[in-house]
Amino acid sequence: MDAEFIDQLRMLEESHLQPTVRKDRDRLALILHESFMEIGASGRLHTLRDVLDHLPDEDTSLRTLEDFVAQMLSDDIALTTYTVARTDQSDERVHRSRRSSIWVRERDVWQLRFHQGTPI
């Protein structure tokens, strides 16, 4: 996998961590696959509809991506793993979670199909 492609996947991952994107239902709908599923830190399963309905109301804490790794699983499927450091706005504490995402390419567009976050 070339560096340019890894950078593209990292940019896609970072895009949906940005408060402006997280609060924009239309932009989220472009990034997330129609069959999107997420297993949240609570262990709860979230569908695309859940995310589009609730993520725009989530807090806008600063999130940064660390330790990014990307692997191709096939020509049109990629796995990314990384850590997110989220700075709590109320007390400045940093919370970290380990993340994994599966990206699929359909009609030359990469979309997030599956995501999981686990607190560390």
Rounding to the nearest 10 degrees, give the CA dihedral for residues 18, 89, 68, 116. Answer: -80
Q: What is the pLDDT of residue 81?
A: 97
Amino acid at position 31, single letter: I
Q: What is the pLDDT of residues 81-101, one digit of tens each?
A: 999 998 877 778 888 999 999
Which segments in the chain show pLDDT lower than 50?
Answer: none
Hey, CA dihedral for 24, 9, 120, 115, is it positive or negative? positive
Q: What is the pLDDT of residue 41?
A: 80
Q: What is the pLDDT of residue 40?
A: 86
Tokens representing residue 23 in the block: 């609060």
Are the CB atoms for 104 and 49 separated by under 8 Å?
Answer: no
Q: What is the pLDDT of residue 106?
A: 93
